[in-house]
Amino acid sequence: MRIENSKTFAMRSLLVAGAVALGACDTSVTNPGPVQDEFLNDPESHEAIVNGMGRAVAEALNWIGYTSAAVTREIHPSGSTGSFGITILWQRGELQPDDDDLDTHWEQAQRARWLAENGTARMEEVGPASQTLLAQAYLWSGYANRILGENMCEAVIDGGAPQPRSEFLNRAEAAFGQAMSLGTGNLATAAAAGRASVRVHLGKWSEAVSDASSVPDGFEYKIPYFNTGEEGLLNRIQWASNGVPYRAHTQWSTKYEAYYTATGDPRVPWKDNGGEQGDAAIDCCGKVPWNQQLKYPSPADDVRLSSGAEMRLIEAEKLLMDGDMGGAMAKINALRSAAGVADATASTTDEAWAMLKRERGIVLWLEGRRLGDFRRWSENGTPGALDPLEVPGAASHLTQQDLCFPIPPSEQQTNPNVPIA
């Protein structure tokens, strides 16, 4: 059982990362152990520190994006429950506070947050190597906090007591704002897109639309992955369905299976594999067909963090909130036209909301964003039905659907301010 809370775990990781980064300057030098704290104040170390922040965000997204994809049925389990698999609980849609398999999700996400926030504070204190580097650090801080705010049930900051998840979202909003002020070009645009996305969850719709309007249609900001053989650097969703060695999830029995067959929409591609089946029998259904996602054909494929397409859907959602169904559907269909697929149609407000929810699922497919959408729509009583294949019921094989990750055993057992569930 792990015995580190999020702060302890993150601090140790930063020292290790710093030692590796600084040692890389001269491979003939023997690593003497933990790096002295003052070395991390040297501006020459800042690029390595910022790169470490990005790597930590990528690892957090790897874990949370994969498991949340199973719970929201962006993917369907098709095999293993161990390494790169989907546990029996997650297959059923359960994210439970006594599930120690969720420790890693929490630890990786909190590590990413702590590394980014600590690093930006250090750089501000001693003077950054460059304003651009500081902007990138704030951007990673924004994305790390967004992952937490969209996906965690509650916030815990460095050994403190549980708080509403909005604490993470507020931190993300502030960090993205700093990145906008300091950055230029793609950095500033990514920060505006990131801030728009968290303002949606904070209910700041006018401000979200204002940010979104500054992001062009074709803009994308991605986080990199690498096919080096090291598990933490691989795109986890891809590797779990790579075929060799894993066939742990499938598009069988998801809404994307039938939708792609009917439309050929290039944004949600998959293929069957000549009747091949998943790794093993699964709890609901025994052995099932292994229909492989193709959004990420390589374990080195990057994952989008922000896009102009998402911004257009923020604008469309606000139009629906304001009663402008025609304007909202025009935004949706502009995205569909750009993808080369037929327009969506809606004759009622409920149908328009259903199309908005479907289109967000298509645009943000396998990017670790669906769970947060489900939660905010549920909390707000937003109209518009979800597909039967992505909500609990016989069709989806979900027995329930927990819409956030709880504070897990590792934090409960090491943080005296968090009660044991």
- What gap in Å lies between CA 53 and CA 384, rounded to an integer? 38
pLDDT at 229 over 90: no
Instruction: Name the pTM for this structure.
Output: 0.91
pLDDT at 407 over 70: yes
Residue linked to tokens 């710093």: 18
Topology of domain 6-226+306-414 in CATH is 1.25.40
Structure tokens at 375: 């939660």
Average pLDDT over residues 183-192: 98
Average pLDDT over residues 161-186: 98
249 φ/ψ angles, rounded to the nearest 5 degrees? -145, 165
Nearest to 193 by CA among 178, 169, 209: 209
Strand stretches in 65-219, DSSP E: 76-77, 154-155, 163-164
Percent of the chain with pLDDT over 90: 87
Q: What is the pLDDT of residue 44?
A: 85
Average pLDDT over residues 347-353: 98
Domain spans of the chain?
Answer: 6-226+306-414
Q: What is the pLDDT of residue 42?
A: 79
Q: What is the pLDDT of residue 13?
A: 43
pLDDT at 227 over 80: yes
Quick: pLDDT tens for 247-305: 999 999 999 999 999 999 999 999 999 989 999 999 999 999 999 999 999 999 999 99
Q: What is the pLDDT of residue 37?
A: 63
**15 vs 408, which has greater pLDDT?**
408
- Please, are residues 209 and 315 in contact by the beta-carbon 8 Å criterion? yes
Percent of the chain with pLDDT over 70: 91
SS3 content of the chain, % helix, strand, coil (to 5): 55, 5, 40
Three-state SS annotation for 325-360? HHHHHHHHHHHHHHHCCCCCCCCCHHHHHHHHHHHH
Confidence of residue 404 (pLDDT cuts 50, 70, 90): very high
Mean pLDDT of the chain: 92
- What gap in Å lies between CA 172 and CA 306, rounded to an integer? 14
Average pLDDT over residues 100-119: 98
Confidence of residue 95 (pLDDT cuts 50, 70, 90): very high
**257 vs 7, which has greater pLDDT?**
257
Average pLDDT over residues 79-108: 96
- What gap in Å lies between CA 377 and CA 383, rounded to an integer? 8
- Please, are residues 299 and 227 in contact by the beta-carbon 8 Å criterion? yes
Q: What is the pLDDT of residue 299?
A: 97
Quick: pLDDT tens for 23-65: 333 434 455 556 556 657 778 899 999 999 999 999 999 999 9
pLDDT at 20 over 80: no
Confidence of residue 4 (pLDDT cuts 50, 70, 90): very low
Q: What is the pLDDT of residue 10?
A: 42
